[in-house]
Amino acid sequence: MSKTAIKSNRIILPDKMFSGYVVIQNGSIADIVSHFPSDVSQLVDVGDKFLIPGVIDPHVHINEPGRTHWEGFDTATRAALAGGITTLVDMPLNSSPVTTTIDAFEEKLNAAKNKLHTNCGFWGGIVPGNEHDIEPLIKKGVLGFKAFLTHSGIDEFPNVTEADLLKAMPIIARYDLPLLVHCELSDSQHYSNTADLCSYANYLGSRPKQWEDNAIALMIRLCEKFNCRVHIVHLSSADSIEQIKIAKNKGLPISVETAQHYLYFFAEEISDAQTIFKCAPPIRERQNCESLWQALEEGVIDFVATDHSPAPPEMKEVNSGDFMKAWGGISSLQWALPVLWTAARQRGFEVMNIVEWLSEKPAKLLGSRFKKGKIEIGYDADLVVLNPDQKFRVVEEDIQHRHKISPYLHHELFGGVEQTWLGGQRVFNKGEMKLDNGRPLIRAN
Ligand SMILES: [Zn+2]
């Protein structure tokens, strides 16, 4: 089989920057050398542009089947290619049916057929009463599970209580798979129907940090009890950093992600009625944001994932500005890399840090059976050519998502994704896409 080599003066390897050639054969990285390799049939020279591992986004709501009018596999994975994302993992909601049974998972796999332009794994869902579905879903190849501790936003995916987790977690622990948890434990006293529905301050006040902190305390306790891998999704409350640090120092199998929007936006900048910013937990104040950055730098927060959760404009209540009615979710998949890089470079971080937060660490959540997230011999040749100094404006005509609405619209971002390579094939090259090369990522038993 013929070999391809990509030459770059700035290849980001796990421990250093390297000038040389990455040799690709049979979809994998066959060699990394400093001198021109022999037997190469194709050479791609990217000069001083960075060659980095493809982005892995393990938190994406694709919403197909059933709510394809919200996004769908075709548009989501096109956006992924344009954004340098070579692997994403689909959430068990808001598709219909939700992925909580084996039949629903089969339906989802069928729906994904011939529509994947990047690799895509799947999380199963934990809801009250589906503990007997857990093992069949594992055997069919889900990468782990997701549960909510508060209302998920759709009635078909009810939240669990501690009693449900007592049944589910020992099973998940036996297979050493992660349980991803939306950590907010709600109480009724924060909702006020008389408040100004268009006020961002009111919305922010309706989902206090305490909800997250209480939920995370519960999950730390259950993680310890069952030695079950727990992954806290989209951490927003910086008040929980300390308890997470203590749990990690004890050696508990706990990992944490935050989302780009908690690192890029501040509550102080969000005007009333701007429901495009609504997400749960909410985007909090500047000081909270700075604490999240510090936790990311220290490794208390492991990585960053988009929680891409799009909806049609009418559901985002863009006209009424009603925060209580609007769908909670931010559309962002395509800019996972440039948004994080734009905010990170202002704080003095390097491309190396971005690779750790968007590729290396998220790969660990998927499990070591997948050879992803690093430029290393034997790893999949999922790669990105990045021009970190290139500036661009987010404009509607470049958006690959189904709906051209996002809080990032019209923002100027750094970090141009010039090429995306998937399994050794160049599938995105300066706007040109090569489609249908994505594969479902199924966990083999
Ligand atoms: Zn989510």
| Ligand 1 center from residue 369 Cα (angstroms) | 24
| Ligand 1 center from residue 38 Cα (angstroms) | 46
| Ligand 1 center from residue 147 Cα (angstroms) | 10
- The span from the CA of 111 to the CA of 72, in Å, is 9
| Ligand 1 center from residue 15 Cα (angstroms) | 31
pLDDT at res. 165: 98
pLDDT at res. 151: 93
| Ligand 1 center from residue 22 Cα (angstroms) | 35
Interval 159-178: pLDDT, tens: 999 999 999 999 999 999 99
The answer to whether the peptide bond before residue 281 is cis (omega within 30 degrees of 0) is yes
| Ligand 1 center from residue 148 Cα (angstroms) | 10
CB 423 within 8 A of CB 380: yes
pLDDT at res. 49: 98
Mean pLDDT of the chain: 97
pLDDT at res. 377: 98
Interval 303-349: pLDDT, tens: 999 999 999 999 999 999 999 999 999 999 999 999 999 999 999 99
DSSP assignment of 59-103, as one string?
A: EE---TTT-TTT--HHHHHHHHHHTTEEEEEE-S-SSSS-SSSHH
The reported pTM is 0.98
pLDDT at res. 195: 80
Residue 192 has pLDDT above 70, yes or no: no
| Ligand 1 center from residue 361 Cα (angstroms) | 18
Residue 233 has pLDDT above 70, yes or no: yes
- The span from the CA of 85 to the CA of 420, in Å, is 8
Mean pLDDT of 101-120: 98
Please report which confidence band the pLDDT of residue 75 belongs to, taking 50, 70 and 90 as the band edges.
Answer: very high
pLDDT at res. 193: 59
Helix-helix angle 241-249:209-226, to 10 degrees: 10
Q: Who's near 368: CB < 8 A, 6+ residues apart?
A: none
| Ligand 1 center from residue 309 Cα (angstroms) | 6
Closest CA to 153 of 332, 65, 281: 281
Q: Is the dihedral of CA 191, 194, 200, 201 positive or negative?
A: negative
Interval 128-153: pLDDT, tens: 999 999 999 999 999 999 999 999 99
Q: How big is the CA angle at 223 (ends 104 and 356), to the nearest 5 degrees?
A: 80
| Ligand 1 center from residue 149 Cα (angstroms) | 13
